[in-house]
Amino acid sequence: MAGSIFGKHFQISTWGESHGKALGVVVDGCPAGIELCEEDIQKDLDRRRPGNSPFASPRKEKDAVEILSGVFEGKTTGTPISLIVYNTNQRSYDYSEISKLYRPGHADFTYDQKYGFRDYRGGGRSSGRETTARVAAGAIAKKILQEFNVDITAYTLSIGPVEIDKSKFDKSEIYNNFLAMPDKEAAKAAADYVQNVMDNEDSAGGIIECIVTGLPTGVGEPVFEKLDAMLAKAIFSIGAVKGLEFGSGFEAAKKTGWENNDFFRYDENGKITKLTNHAGGISGGISDGFPIVFRTAIKPTPSIHRMQQTINKNGENADIQVEGRHDPIIVPRAVVVVEAMTALTLVDYLFQRIFSRIDLIKKALLD
């Protein structure tokens, strides 16, 4: 299947299906000398894995990662890093009844039209479980970003109609509640909302906000490979994503130029600053040294127990009630996936930044 490789200078190739033996990723382009162990990767996989929240699929998977190559005595060797996560709790029979039905909101119909057949055991490659491999690779990218003091923080901004109060923002809360919200009160209200949705055999969506700090200026390309364009490609490759905006986003359409422009000033120490950040840290496709801020809309989980209308492969109308183990909301588990795809993109473009100026190349090779 084409389209399973991402990146240029820092490249990943993911493989595996939701109900196959395993999923995995090969990471190529990681520099030698980065300290890396399985625990570094496992921490992020634990944030993504199912079965650890009342608002997640009850499918019990340890998602234990194994490093097969590219690491020796606790450090990367500069050769391809191969990672594998075995599926240990797949139940393909949960999906046997829908082998000839197309689930609304899923890729069943489009996969069938493209390939002539499909893996109906949870969607195969189109399953959200594929993101396990992305998160594993993203953990390595984050280790590299730490070398440059670049930090990525993603969190649940809203679920359904419930949005956090940013005046109550508490980063530690992201990891203290099941919904990854940095506002304890909003998390409680959102939990009540999701429970009500679950009681009605339905699902919920929400918005994830991501903030990148510490990224230097000059990262990104000015035409077809703008940094915001490539981040958009990365984030939109996550199956549940339906929208994305940077900085002021769609609100910019309601502003005048004077209101939306970010005014530059020198502070008392002669350092460049901006009075606002409507651009979201990217101007002309290139990072401006200020925080990169974007928000992404995550659709409601399409697998719901409530009766839905569909068609079957015999050309007949049908009704479908999706059985099995499914998330009533994808958003909290998708937070770390957004972080991973952001990290993978930034590492790739940081490496590319070195080749943009002869002085940087000389510094890299001669210092």
pLDDT digit string (tens) for the chain, length 367 residues? 578 999 999 999 999 988 889 999 999 999 999 999 999 999 999 999 876 777 777 666 788 999 999 999 999 999 999 999 999 876 655 566 677 889 998 888 888 888 887 777 777 788 888 999 999 999 999 999 999 999 999 999 999 999 999 999 999 999 999 999 999 999 999 999 999 999 999 999 999 999 999 999 999 999 999 999 999 999 999 999 999 999 999 999 999 999 999 999 999 999 999 999 999 999 999 999 999 999 999 999 998 888 999 999 889 999 988 876 678 999 999 999 999 999 999 999 999 998 888 888 888 778 7
Q: How many whole angstroms separate alpha carbon 190 and alpha carbon 159?
A: 6
**The pTM is what?**
0.93
5-366, CATH topology level: Chorismate synthase, AroC fold (3.60.150)
Beta bridge partners of 206: 159, 298
Please tell me whether residue 76 adopts helix, strand or coil conformation.
strand
Residue 191 has φ and ψ, to the nearest 5°, of: -65, -40
- 297: which strand partners? 207, 243
Half-sphere exposure of 85 (CA within 13 A, CB side): 32
Helix or strand (DSSP H, E) at 67: strand 65-69
List the domain boundaries for the chain. 5-366
Q: How far apart are CA 43 and CA 60, in angstroms?
A: 17
C-beta of residue 152 within 8 angstroms of C-beta of residue 47: no
**Cα separation, 221 vs 141, whole angstroms:** 20
